[in-house]
Amino acid sequence: MMDDAIHPSAAKGFSAGATAYVRGRPDYPPEIEAWLREDLRLSEGRAAVDLGAGTGKFVPRLRATGASVVAVEPLPAMLAQLRALHPDVDAREGSAERIPLGDASADAVVCAQSFHWFAHAAALEEIRRVLRPGGALGLVWNVRDERVPWVAELTRILDEYEGDAPRYRSSAWRRCFPAPGFGSLAERRFAYVHVGAPEDIIVDRALSVSFIAALPEEERARVAVKVRSLVASTPELAGRGEVGFPYETCVYWCGRLGG
């Protein structure tokens, strides 16, 4: 989900945690499809790139627009999961600096949960290369809703291990904008609740975080114990077969200028 210089947390963590990623990562709210159609202007006959596609979590949302989709992912473990889960999707090995498409061949490039890993000028130049004039760059993140006390406590547990891993919440990715060859960045937000078993959507979600998945096995096990203890001590989670994990889905987009 990164550029050629893959951050060690991503390279090791996502390779080791690809299965937990599939189980624990949330989907996206239904409003995303309207955003893709209306603001990114995706529809039948248009072409979209899912850049840093991971295991393909965002692929169904892109395909629902009717657009053709090319999913690009650099890590073999994630790419293998993507191809297994979406065997009829054109999934290619590539990176943000080397997108395996021709010039002006895409109407939209969408980075779901990935842009913070390759937020630099070289990646934006490559994205601009593959976009047609008037095409759009879309950025998507599911962000934990830390207004909920147990979610804030989960974040506190995880943040102890983050090190120098790039993250959406640091806002460092915003320094790329305004970007040469692109218009101004627009923004929308949607509420979303990921529903499922606590072991899947809370424990596996925590273990799928790049810098957690990259930890030695004994340390990862200690993180899992802490997260399970949080679930057991939280009245709205303890003993329940199904719970809701609240998120805010943040989307950003800008157009590729002509020429």
Q: What integer best gives the mean pLDDT of the chain?
A: 90
- Please say if the pLDDT value at position 4 is more than 70: no
- Please say if the pLDDT value at position 14 is more than 60: no
pLDDT at 19: 61
Q: Is the Cα dihedral 223, 24, 59, 192 positive or negative? A: negative
Banded model confidence at residue 23, pLDDT cuts 50, 70, 90: low
What digits encode the pLDDT tens for the residues 30-81? Answer: 999 999 999 999 999 999 999 999 999 999 999 999 999 999 999 998 899 9
The class that CATH gives domain 8-255 is alpha beta
Q: Which residues contact 137 (CB under 8 A, 6 or more apart)?
A: 108, 109, 110, 111, 124, 127, 131, 182, 253, 254, 255, 256
pLDDT at 256: 97
What digits encode the pLDDT tens for the residues 221-255? Answer: 999 999 999 999 999 999 999 999 999 999 999 99
Banded model confidence at residue 9, pLDDT cuts 50, 70, 90: very low
What's the whole-number mean pLDDT along residues 203-220? 90
pLDDT at 128: 98
Query: CA dihedral defined by 38, 39, 40, 44, rounded to 10 degrees?
Result: 10
Give this prediction's pTM.
0.89
Flag the least confident range among 8-12, 23-27, 114-118, 248-252: 8-12
What's the whole-number mean pLDDT along residues 104-124? 96
What's the whole-number mean pLDDT along residues 201-215? 89
pLDDT at 6: 53
